[in-house]
Chains A and B, each alone.
Chain A
Amino acid sequence: MRERYGTTILDTAIRLLVPFYLLYAVYVLVHGHYSPGGGFQAGVTLAASILLVNMVQGDEVTWGVNKQTAVILASIGTFIYAGIGILALFWGGNFLDYGVLPLGEIEPKVRALGTLGIETGVTLGVMGTFIVIFNLLTGREE
């Protein structure tokens, strides 16, 4: 059974830190085109911030991402990735050939947007998986 570890100091510290963790995760995701980063790292950072809050403030504070939701999120993430790949087939491209998607832009830009789309899928998938595994290994037995 997991208990609340937080004291006042820890509680105050994560209240200050977690917003920056979340912001950093989103930054890593959307800035993956320009600097090191991408879906995997963003997903892990998101999962870490949610799990940190979860550990410090107790079991019931999950920000809406409990075990069931996390499984659904992981599935949705993987589905987004494969779905964008399949979507390209409908406009005459190859599997995962984002350049053909009709977004009204020049091809490299459409490709960049497709990359952002699949990275979002990766982020959701990794985040969901990490939260599921953590909850399974540490969660209480109902």
Chain B
Amino acid sequence: MKKVALILLLLLAGLFIYTSFDLPPTNDLNSPPAAHVSPRYIEMAHEETGAVNMVTAVLADYRGYDTLGETTVIFTAGISCLLILEARRKQKRNKRGGR
């Protein structure tokens, strides 16, 4: 089972490396993100979102969905800590009470 997983992982890694050759090179001004998305953000951020700070405009408005995910991740982390640590504490208390 472990060998199958290893082979699958290697295949996946090979696939990723193979695909990465087709990515546009870094700092390529003609790549789609640099040619369309970035200029739109830089030119229109203030007019469209009313935010002078471009970072806020992108973070909270254009990519609000992403930030919603981030907030949910933090919230989930807190809830997981609560559940795990409280359960362990309760377990300890029960053990002590049983003896």
A: which residues have CB within 8 A of B?
32-40, 67, 71, 74-75, 77-78, 81-82, 85, 95-96, 98, 108-112, 114-115, 118-119, 121-122, 125-126, 128-130, 132-133, 136-137, 141
Output the least CB separation between A97 and chain B (Å).
Answer: 9
B: which residues have CB within 8 A of A?
46-53, 55-57, 59-61, 64-65, 67-68, 70-72, 74-75, 77-79, 81-82, 85-86, 89, 92-93
A136 to B67, CA, bound (A): 26
Output the least CB separation between A21 and chain B (Å).
Answer: 20
Interface of B is mostly: helix
Asked if A132 meets B50 with Cβ closer than 8 Å, knowing A121-B71, A122-B67, A125-B71, the reply is no
Query: Besides the contacts A108-B46, A111-B51, A126-B71, what 11 more A-B pairs have beta carbons closer than 8 Å?
Result: A74-B78, A74-B79, A75-B75, A78-B72, A81-B68, A82-B68, A111-B48, A111-B49, A115-B49, A136-B82, A137-B85
Residues on the A chain within 8 Å of B53, using CB:
32-37
Give the tally of cross-chain contacts (CB within 8 A). Answer: 103
A122 to B74, CA, bound (A): 10
B50 touches A109 (CB 8 A): yes
Closest chain A residue to B93 by CB distance? A141
A67 to B51, CA, bound (A): 35
Looking at A75, A109, A129, A132, the one whose CB has the most chain B CB atoms below 10 A away is A129
Residues on the B chain within 8 Å of A109, using CB:
50
Output the least CB separation between B83 and chain A (Å).
Answer: 10
A111 touches B61 (CB 8 A): yes
B78 touches A118 (CB 8 A): no
Asked if A85 meets B50 with Cβ closer than 8 Å, knowing A126-B74, A136-B86, the reply is no
A95 touches B65 (CB 8 A): yes
A118 touches B67 (CB 8 A): yes
